[in-house]
Chains A and B, each alone.
Chain A
């Protein structure tokens, strides 16, 4: 069981790299299998379709980010400091594992039909959303963040980061992504703070 799980993750990681290089729609199951040095038949033992693989990929990314944000949530820091930590996590992931954020922005958010059966609503990114909700809720409870609708705050925070990472991916940013962390965190805090 455990072994199968590990193997599935290896396939997801390999597939994400291929999607980033070739694009999701242009990558076929034989391509994915080939890039991992396995046969298509064997890959089908793990995933019955490319959609199923894509859905596992988005859960994997959601969980990857959630584990890291959870650590931030469990720290005793102020909301201002937590914002900076979350921005850092997001940007470092974009720098070190660009295929993840790329998949999230270009595939998950842009091709909802791939996810309609199995990833209804936000269920496949639930772990990530839960941690963001906890961050927001605690910020309001501690009177550091202004109380408002979840999506107005979420859109501001994640839309901003997504936009920056998109520019970074298109090589349109003149400076290294990390060099923007401080100012961006300050902007988010000023927008969401009380």
Chain B
């Protein structure tokens, strides 16, 4: 068997949700047998964080996973996190920014000017680590879906190539929108505005702030814990994989004279409104009845 690849998980300003999310992968044990962690905050590792902080200059890894927002002045035990990142980034073959904070700054970057993702500050491209841009892959999400982390690491270890978008997100997972596969699609198609929290029916695009039609992600195709997704259970997608996350007013659709201010990805206003006008003209009774209601 080929030598096991060595993984290193380095947390910056992080809440650890990405690390926890990984624990939910149904085949984590199998995954663990195929890789070694030089360090992971929650999983059995070859070294402790102390050992890494003391001796990192003599260490290397194959795949570097960065979690959390980068913060200019952040240091641990007197070691500047930035120096340590740069050291491992030079020798590793791939860098994964795990989660939205490491990718674009996310929620943590709202707390200070000196915080950002590895290559992006929101939508803005940064120069600081640009030497490593080509070996970086972005896996945003708040948290990132564990299946994406495990599959991407496995693909990289096997030498597979991953087509990426302009934020360096693998298209296989981020080339879709969260809307793809949502169980509420029919309500969207026929423009049934009505949605009540806690119910199976209705689409949250019109009133309740769903960002699924313009947020990259496969939440409705690779279900969470293999069971469900936010939108399927009746919680709007907050667009946690996107550079502008977190926005404000997450449960409310911003509208201009009744027209949603943001439209499905790439769809022009004229195209959207023409189709919506046609769909709205018809009343389809099925969509106005509760799915679980008794038939007459």
Contacts and interface: CB of A to CB of B under 8 A. Distances in A.
- A interface, how many residues as a size bin? 20 to 34
Contacts of B261: 137, 141
Nearest to A70: B270
A122 B281 contact: yes
Contact of A136 (B257, B277, B278, B280): B257
A59 to B, nearest CB: 12
Contacts of A140: 256-257
Contact of A130 (B255, B256, B273, B282): B273
A148 to B, nearest CB: 6
B267 interface: no
B257 A121 contact: no
Contacts of A150: 257-259
Interface string B253-282: 001111101000000011001100110111
Interface in B228-265: 255-259, 261
Contacts, number: 57
Contact of A120 (B259, B273, B282): B282
B269 A134 contact: yes
A139 B274 CA distance: 19
Contacts of B270: 130, 134
Given A130-B273, A134-B270, A148 B278 contact: no
B277 A148 contact: no
A133 B278 contact: no
A153 B256 CA distance: 11
A74 to B, nearest CB: 10
Given A149-B257, A149-B258, A150-B258, A134 B277 contact: no
A121 B283 CA distance: 9
B257 A129 contact: no
A140 B269 CA distance: 14
Contacts of A138: 256
Contact of B277 (A122, A141, A145, A151): A122
Nearest to B254: A147
Interface SS of A by simple majority: helix
A137 B274 contact: no
A134 B273 contact: yes
Nearest to B255: A147
Nearest to B257: A136
B259 A133 contact: yes
Interface string A103-123: 000000000000000001111
A129 B258 contact: no
A139 B257 CA distance: 9
Given A120-B282, A121-B282, A137-B269, A130 B277 contact: yes
Given A127-B274, A130-B273, A136 B259 contact: yes
Contacts of A93: none
Given A130-B274, A134-B273, A141 B281 contact: no
A126 interface: yes
A145 B256 CA distance: 9
A151 B273 CA distance: 15
B281 A133 contact: no
A122 B274 CA distance: 11
Q: Which of A121, A127, A137, A145 has the most CB of B within 10 A?
A: A137
Contact of A123 (B257, B258, B269, B281): B281
Nearest to B273: A130
A148 B255 CA distance: 9
A81 to B, nearest CB: 18
A159 to B, nearest CB: 16
A123 B277 contact: yes
B259 A137 contact: yes
Cβ-closest 5 pairs across A and B = A121-B281, A150-B258, A140-B256, A123-B281, A126-B277
Interface of A: 120-123, 126-127, 129-130, 133-134, 136-141, 145, 147-151, 153
Interface of B: 255-259, 261, 269-270, 273-274, 277-278, 280-282
25 contacts: A121-B280, A121-B282, A122-B277, A123-B278, A123-B281, A123-B282, A126-B274, A126-B277, A126-B278, A127-B274, A129-B273, A130-B270, A130-B273, A133-B257, A133-B259, A136-B259, A137-B259, A137-B261, A137-B269, A141-B261, A148-B257, A149-B258, A150-B257, A150-B258, A150-B259
